[in-house]
A and B are shown apart, each in its own frame.
Chain A
Amino acid sequence: MKKSGTLALLGVLTALCFGLSYVEMMLPSVGIPGIKLGLANICVMAALWLVGTKEAAGVNLVRIVLNWLIFGNFTGLVYSLAGGALSFVCMVILKKTGRFSPVGISAAAGAAHNIGQLFAASLLTDAGALLGYLPVLIAAGTATGTVNGIIITAVLKSLGRKDGKHEHKT
């Protein structure tokens, strides 16, 4: 893909990320802090598969900072950064092994995101009080990640690339 095409694609993905975060904010909370759908990760994964690691990391970082500037507070930024970083590293490593499809990778990323967020929250508040949320957060992250993985598989298929093995046409 041409450089300008890549740039345009990254811009569209970042914008879409932001839109999806906004849609998620309007959904009612289930009453346990930290449980959400993580739809924005679909765009980060699209960038990771269609463009590259560095570029996807950029999309992820811009998404988190934008969300903080417009909706969040500073502690929220710390939680998001910890979750975003851990899930991103997890995705890159699992993708490199070549053994998992986007569904498995997304499931692990969801769980990793919630673990990272809880870890940051434990450092900032009281570790013992938060530990009880860990099992439910891991399970919820896995479940939402699996659903996102199925979506991203469909997205990658329609964008003409499967499993990152073939070059993107157009």
Chain B
Amino acid sequence: MKNKLLTDAALIAGLLLLSAAVFFALPKGGEGREVCVTLDGEEFATLNLYDDAVVDIGGRCTLTVKNGEASVTEAVCRDGICLRHRPIKRAGESIVCLPSRVTVKITGGTDFVI
């Protein structure tokens, strides 16, 4: 039993290390330039982050770009997680609405490499 306690601890520590490794492996974004919106996995729109705009995304969400920040201001989904997400502005930051299959991502500067 004591033996298993050790292997368990090693396993849990390994998983937490993996999480930390992934965290540091992802490059942090610089200043963003554009807002990329995808709907159902396909590109829906690309907007300039510094031109204020309000865009309806396929009737599922409303995206607001204001003062160099993007946020989701209206959504028809049940949980509304995207609504509570803080506004994003740095490259690589994103807001994701899984029920509506909408992603909003900032690009420009250093982006995630994928």
Contacts and interface: CB of A to CB of B under 8 A. Distances in A.
Contacts of A6: none
Interface residues of A, number: 38
Interface of A is mostly: helix
A125 B57 CA distance: 14
Contacts of B53: none
Contacts of B103: 125-126, 129-130
Contacts of A21: none
A132 B92 contact: yes
Interface residues of B, number: 38
Contacts of A79: 98
Contacts of A133: 96
A132 B29 CA distance: 11
A22 to B, nearest CB: 15
Interface string A125-152: 1111111111110110110001000000
B111 A125 contact: no
A112 to B, nearest CB: 9
Contacts of A142: 12, 15-16, 19
Nearest 4 A/B pairs, CB to CB: A104-B8, A135-B23, A129-B94, A138-B19
Given A103-B8, A131-B114, A136-B23, 9 more contacts: A100-B8, A104-B11, A107-B12, A125-B103, A126-B105, A128-B111, A132-B92, A133-B96, A134-B19
